[in-house]
Amino acid sequence: MFSVIAYQAGYATSVSQLFHDAIHAIDEVHYSFEDKSAWSSKPRSAYHWHKRMSRSKAWLMIDESMLIDGQPKCCGFINIETGFYTQGYIDSLYVHPAYQGKGIAKTLYQTLEQWVVEQGYRELTVDASSLSKALFLSQGFKLCHRSYQEKRGRVIMGYLMKKLL
């Protein structure tokens, strides 16, 4: 059974490993081995992820049927920036490779959208990967233009997308 919960500090290590595993599971049709290695050369610290998630509004998808160290397994996460200049920017959306294709990303996104509507946000933006572009299009986002992020000397291509609420 799956549940969406608010981010909790005890999941920071799981989030870090999930991020790394999800990046490296991307088919090389989308991003090369070198791109993926620049994007995530190794899992970042739990401290890094806790700080990143707690400075934004974040949710986790957990698998209550799979316990790891006594807590349900984190199988996906999403977070959105809430600061004045970055409000409405979707920072991350990742699903563990073993759970992809089960509607988890869509459920996490819909949880986020419901929250932002309740908060009165007027728009959402995201730098979508070539892999997540289709999901965001299916949720009503419009493509603004290609975007590029530099990671460890490599330029990673994506798509800046926007949705008016």
Angle, in degrees to the nearest 10, between helices 12-24 and 46-54: 100
pLDDT of residue 109: 98
pLDDT in tens, the chain (165 residues): 999 999 999 999 999 999 999 999 999 988 999 989 999 999 999 999 999 999 999 999 999 999 888 899 999 999 999 998 889 999 999 999 999 999 999 999 999 999 999 999 999 999 999 999 999 999 999 999 999 888 888 888 899 999 999
Query: Does CATH number 3.40.630.30 belong to domain 2-164?
Result: yes
The DSSP output letter for 6 is E
Strand 71-80 with 57-68, pairing: antiparallel
pLDDT of residue 150: 82
pLDDT of residue 110: 98
DSSP helix/strand/coil, 54: helix
The C-alpha atoms of residue 141 and residue 163 are separated, in whole angstroms, by: 5
pLDDT of residue 85: 84
pLDDT of residue 22: 97
Domain ranges of the chain: 2-164
The burial of 155, by beta-carbon neighbours within 10 Å (0-12 exposed, 13-18 middle, 19 or more buried), is given as: exposed
pLDDT of residue 98: 96
